Amino acid sequence: MNFKELCERRYSCRAYESRPIEAEKLEYIQECVRLAPSAVNRQPWKFILVSGQPELGILHECYNREWIRNAPAIVVCCQNRQEAWVRPCDGKNHADIDIAIAVEHLVLAAAEVGLGSCWVCNFDAPLLARNFPLPQGYEAAALVPLGYPAVPATEKKRKPTEDVWETR
């Protein structure tokens, strides 16, 4: 499979089989995430793989959607703004950009090994911060459920190239 085919395979999966994920697939995903680039190589992130109770239940409360309850694992993707590089000319903190790059590595690696994932940002961050201990200085930026897709992917809806690319 080439990179374009991998990008086509990845989609926001919202239906999972309950079967567990093999350790070697999780280790492969972890290594792909570890290799993600970041501004000035600061790597201002931590990832917490959650696959047991009561932690999954806490995460379900933070994103109360029925479809996520079948995912056998959820990755809590955390960033540390104090560790991130800050652009000197305007003070732009790159933590959001860095975590986005790493999460994209995560979802593409998951797709490559046949797993579904969904990048979830619409969770209750204050509730998560109160009930799910994070490493000191870190905040949750995204939740990514992982598992074997229970239903096939639907066709992706994307803007045409001319609407997103400009040549000057």
**Ordered domains of the chain (ranges, CATH):** 3-164 (3.40.109.10)
Mean pLDDT of 30-42: 98
Q: What local confidence, expressed as pLDDT, does residue 134 receive?
A: 97
- Which stretches of the chain are DSSP H helices? 3-9, 23-34, 55-62, 95-112, 125-131, 161-164
Phi then psi for residue 42, to 5 deg, are -70, -30
Answer whether the bond into residue 54 is a cis peptide, omega within 30°.
Answer: yes
Confidence of residue 163 (pLDDT cuts 50, 70, 90): very high
Q: What local confidence, expressed as pLDDT, does residue 154 receive?
A: 86
- How far apart are the C-alpha atoms of 111 and 29, rounded to whole Å? 10
Confidence of residue 152 (pLDDT cuts 50, 70, 90): confident
pTM: 0.96
Confidence of residue 153 (pLDDT cuts 50, 70, 90): confident
Q: What local confidence, expressed as pLDDT, does residue 61 receive?
A: 97
- Mean pLDDT, all residues of the chain: 97
Taken in order 108, 114, 115, 118, is the CA torsion positive or negative? positive
Q: Is the pLDDT of residue 139 over 90?
A: yes
pLDDT tens readout for residues 71-104: 999 999 999 999 999 999 999 999 999 999 999 9
Query: How does DSSP classify residue 12?
Result: B
Distances in Å between the Cα of 101 and the Cα atoms of 15, 90, 110, 157, 167 are: 24, 21, 14, 22, 24
